[in-house]
A and B are shown apart, each in its own frame.
Chain A
């Protein structure tokens, strides 16, 4: 089935450790995104990519890094520089240019930093 797969669904890490969240899509979408959601809040954009080997910072990029080496994959690394990393992370993709096509989400990854 076509869709977006995020892994892991749940992740616990000690403070100071880097963590990489995986996002893979088989929808042949050009644009991919990472959003962060805190409890009871809306979604905030971390990074997005419109094409392979290119990505742009969103509203809250500090403490995060991404890569886009393949069209299907857009991993997010939460670095030790991120001050409040505990959150729900959502990966999404859309056809066409960013913001123009319909946006689809993966099931999310819950990160808890102890």
Chain B
């Protein structure tokens, strides 16, 4: 059974830093790209970042480029998101998600964590 356990959220001041983690199990972690998706209070889902299975390729939504860094440790089955220069608009629940690999579900996210809450005070 695929399981994704998000952790690391909390309350931080504007300009602060935070590191989110996602512990994965139930599948061959290194075979799949992983992503972070967030949901601000009262808003919809927003893709934040994605990393390839090998970790060699990453991509970010424009608003977090230069401030957030996605990484993974395939030996431990963990995904991370290092967030710095945090802004109040980064306040959201952050979900880690496994990207589907087959051609039929290409670029879909087939399993998600429960999310971890990040609050940035102004």
Tell me whether A and B are bound partners. no
The residues of B with any CB-CB pair to A shorter than 8 Å are none
Q: Which residues from chain A sit less than 8 Å from chain B, CB to CB?
A: none
